[in-house]
Amino acid sequence: MAPFHRGFGAMGGMVDVSGKPDVPRRAVASGELVLQRHTIEAIRAGTIEKGEVLESAKVAALHAAKRVSDALPYTHPIPITATTPRLEVKDDRLVVTVEVKATYKTGVEMEALYACAVALLTAWDMVKNH
């Protein structure tokens, strides 16, 4: 017997969280881009053609954390109280860590994960031709 598959017309919806209390929420996501040594040196020197990689990736993370419900259809718009992206340039990689906080009915893990992913994608887009 084939596994059950609900087609597009049979989709569920957002989970009803209206009965849940608002409580403090916190999530941290981290990811890495392994890069060539000359790319790391260019990031540190600020000589990447597209601009300042670390600041651009931070801004992208901030923007992404606030826009998760626009990109992921089953997520709730969440009133975020803080988003803190941290970028660290190591010898062979760029490490991105994003902390997101809110006081709400549901968690902020999707906001942290999405913000981290968008920061990494932004950094990669900026350095991929270097």
Tell me, what CATH number does 84's domain have? 3.30.70.640
Question: Among 21, 44, 29, which Cα is nearest to 94's?
Answer: 44
- The arrangement of strands across the sheet holding 93-104 comes to 23-34, 93-104, 80-89
Say how many domains are in the chain: 1
Tell me, yes or no, if 92 is annotated catalytic.
no
In a domain, 58, yes or no: yes
Spatial separation of the C-alpha atoms in residues 74 and 94, rounded to whole Å: 30
Q: What is the pLDDT of the chain when averaged over all its residues?
A: 94
The pLDDT of residue 2: 54
In a domain, 118, yes or no: yes
In a domain, 17, yes or no: no
Domain boundaries, position 48: 24-127
In a domain, 99, yes or no: yes
Task: Kindly indicate the confidence band of residue 12, based on its pLDDT and cuts at 50, 70 and 90.
Answer: confident
16, 22, 70, 125: the catalytic one is 125
Spatial separation of the C-alpha atoms in residues 130 and 125, rounded to whole Å: 10
The pLDDT of residue 104: 98
